[in-house]
Structures are given as structure tokens and as C-alpha cells.
Amino acid sequence: MNRCRKKFAKPSFRLAGYGTRFLPVTKAIPKEMIPIVDKPVIQYIVEEALQSGIEEILIITGHGKRAIEDHFDTNIDLELQLRQQGKTRLLRMVQDISSINVHYIRQKHMRGLGDAIRCAESFIDNEPFAVLLGDDIVYEPERPALRQMIEAFSEVGSTLLGCQEVPLDQVSRYGIVHGLPTKDERIVRLIDMIEKPSVDEAPSRLAALGRYILTPDIFEILRRVQPGKGGEIQLTDALRLMADREGVYAYTFTGTSYDAGNKLGFLKATVEYALRRDDLGHDFKAYLNDLLKG
């Protein structure tokens, strides 16, 4: 287990550019800082990484994302105020956030997910690493999605994508996998993958949902990848090249996934996370019931 923890010590998070879907709020606030109930989206993702045994976190950031660094930084004034007010629970919460070991690298031009991952190369000591995207939240209180993937990686020893089936009318939002079954019903071997296909082009409904464990050979492949869909350096194109020469696997994780980068997904996450809360769930449910009765 120790070896495993060390190996996965360096995940990176990729943050897209300005979130135009959430304007005007994202004019001054990075979309990763929009709260689900009272916690920014990025914190849910960082917590999943920590709960999965990750010890070092690299966030690939960029222009307009400084609020993320402030969020994970120490806030002496706030701590002083909470201490003076005797709000020890809140003080501990704020201190816990700033004690997380987070590093940052700025992506200078928004050239796509593949390019963002390239920015992490100097941080990754030729080891496998995990990538979690800043939009994709997974609720899985028993076994975090990334922990499931780390366990699966120790079986396959090759690059692994975290996937789930999505409804057919949503395939055009994701990288969609064409895979061959393996002995493990949760794992397929990737033979092709299409970035955001139309319904007709989609080889399946198995979508990459923002969780990857990549072996470091991805960097050499990413250097050769030409701009693809949307003129961006696509990780999907690199994974296809990788699958031609070595095993790449897609793992279906358990848990409820939310696309918090999409308004409807964000609203679903907000409602469902609020309903799960001990301090809010009961009253919020009563309110929703009344509202629906109209």
C-alpha cells in the first residue's frame, strides 16, 4: 500500500479557461470556485484525491484562477476572528483546508486538456499519476472513485480511464470509449476512443468522466499529438495513440457523477448534496415537497 501511495503522490487537476457557461458569475470567479451548498467544486475534488490516498496535489491553473490559490492558502485574519469568536469548529475547518499540500503550475495558453497535462511533466517524477478534472464531481462515500481506480490500476498496471455509461443524448459532451471486455466486468480494454462524438458516431455510451491514472509515457505521446477537436491538444487523441502500442483500460467506477460545469448538472449536485446534509437535509426536503405540491 505504501508503494501505491507513493506512486500516486502527484495528481494534477486541469482547469479549463473562463467558464462561459456560467457567465456572469465567472467574470470574476473561477468556475471551480462556485459553491455546491457551501463548498467550492474544486474542494470536493481535492477531498476525493486525499481520501483516495493521494498526498501531493498539483493544480494546473491559469489566468483568472487566483481565487483557487487563496482558497487553499492560510487566512490569518479569518483564523484570528474565528478564534476570538470561539468558533472552534469553523476554525478547524478553515485550518484543515490550508494544511492541504497543494502546488500550482500556470498553463499560459488554454490549448486543451492534453496541453494542461503536458504542463505537469516537470512535477511528475516518471511515475504514474492521477488526473482529476475540475468539473467532475463523484459522490461515493464508501469507496471514492479515484481509490477504486488506484486499486484497479494495481491489477492492470497500465493507463486507466474512469468511466460510466451516460444517456445516448449526452455522448457528445464526453470522450467515448470503444472497448473489448476483459475478465473483470468493470474493466474494458480500449481499442478506440472518440472525443465528443455525435450520437451516430458514438461507439458506445461509455464516457470518460474526468478521472484518469496515466503512466508517464503519456508525455512523449502528447508531444506528438497535433491539435484535434476544437483546435485543442486532446488527451483523447494521445490515449488512442497509446492504446495502439500498449494496454489502455477503461474502468467503470461506482458512485453518482455530476457534471458541475453544466448548469443542469450543477443544480442537480446542489440539490442532492443539500439533501444529504445533516444540518440542512430535513428542512430542505420539506421545502421541496411543499414547492412541488405547488
Q: Where do contacts with ligand G1P occur on this chain (CB under 6 A)?
A: 16, 113, 133, 135-136, 174-175, 195, 207-210, 235-236
- Which residue number, 20 or 289, has a Cβ lying nearer to ligand G1P? 20
- DSSP helix/strand/coil, 63: coil
Cα gap 176→205, rounded to integer Å: 7
- Shortest CB 234 distance to ligand G1P, Å: 6
In whole angstroms, how close is the CB of 31 to ligand G1P at the nearest point?
11
Taking the complex as a whole, how short is the minimal distance between the CB of residue 272 and ligand G1P, in angstroms? 18
Q: Give whichever of 82 and 207 is closer to ligand G1P, judged by the CB atom.
A: 207
Minimum CB–partner distance for residue 35 and ligand G1P (Å)? 20
Name the residue number minimizing CB distance to ligand G1P. Answer: 175
Cβ proximity to ligand G1P: between 16 and 218 the closer is 16
Q: What is the sign of the dihedral through the CA atoms of 185, 187, 193 and 199?
A: positive
Q: What is the DSSP letter of 143?
A: S
Alpha-carbon distance values, 56 to 5, 11, 49, 53, 145 (Å): 10, 7, 9, 9, 18
* Under 8 Å between Cβ of 276 and 248: no
Q: Is 244 helix (H, G, I), strand (E, B) or coil?
A: helix
| CB nearer to ligand G1P: pick between 30 and 210 | 210
Q: 263: closest CA among 4, 20, 99, 92?
A: 20
Nearer to ligand G1P by Cβ, of 208 and 242: the residue is 208
Sign of the four-CA dihedral 106, 112, 50, 26: positive
Output Rg (C-alpha) for the chain, integer angstroms: 20
Question: Which C-beta is closer to ligand G1P: that of 6 or that of 227?
Answer: 227
CB of 229 to ligand G1P, least distance (A): 8
Least distance between ligand G1P and beta carbon 60 (Å): 12
Looking at the Cβ atoms of 133 and 225, the one nearer to ligand G1P is 133
DSSP 227: P
CB of 27 to ligand G1P, least distance (A): 20
Asked if 169 contacts 235 with a C-beta cutoff of 8 angstroms, the reply is no
Pick 115 or 136: Cβ nearer ligand G1P: 136
What ranges in 23-65 are assigned the alpha helix state H? 41-51
Smallest distance from ligand G1P to CB 239, Å: 9
DSSP per-residue string spanning 74-135: --HHHHHHHHHTT-HHHHHHHHHHHTS-EEEEE-SS---HHHHHHTTGGGS-SS-EEEEETT
